Amino acid sequence: MSTIMISYGTHVFTKFKGYYGRKEECPYCQRKYQQAYVKFSKWFHLIGIPLFPVKRTYYKMCPICAYPVELTVREAKDQMERAYDNIPEQKIELYGKHVSARKPKNIFAHDFSYDFCVKDLISGEEFCIAANLSKDRVKQIAKERGLKKIPFVEA
Ligand SMILES: [Zn+2]
């Protein structure tokens, strides 16, 4: 008798939808910015093929530290549609920073020489939110913020 392995489960897809609304002070990092809206969709998949959505939700996040507030799809869409307040656009860049000086000498050692950084391109301020990460962890944080890809820079 042979056993057939069938892979199934759920997978979460995320998508950054933009910055909306008035500037709000973050209760965690106290920075005042328009909030990032990120859509999360959890899909049931079979053998790697997404079949149907299990849950859809939005998070309104601080664009600096990602402090999240969960919203229903309806609430998020209402807030995004009403958000024409004639606010000057904010420009924020997210990137992984490779600190090569911290890279381990031993090629077999795990490399935790990456930081996750956010830069306000208007004020020029850089916020390194998390340090000493693996490259995969930086990519995972970018995904949690709804980004498919994140650029890497050398420090
Ligand atoms: Zn914050």
Distance CA 114, CA 111 (A): 8
Instruction: Report the chain's C-alpha Rg in angstroms.
Output: 19
Q: Could you list the residue range(s) of the whole structural domain that residue 72 is in?
A: 7-86
Same domain? 81 vs 31: yes
Cα 151 from Cα 72, distance rounded (Å): 30
- pLDDT tens-place string over residues 84-107: 666 678 999 999 999 988 888 888
| Spacing, Cα 33 to ligand 1 middle (Å) | 9
Q: Do 78 and 12 share a structural domain? A: yes
Q: Which residues surround ligand 1, an ion (CB under 5 A)?
A: 26, 28-29, 62, 64-65, 67
* Same domain, yes or no: 118 and 81: no
Q: How far is the centre of ligand 1, averaged over its atoms, from the C-alpha of 93 (Å)?
A: 15
pLDDT tens digits, one per residue of 16-33: 999 999 899 999 999 999
The pTM of this model reads 0.86
Structural domains in the chain (count): 2
Ligand 1 centre and the CA of 50: distance in Å? 33
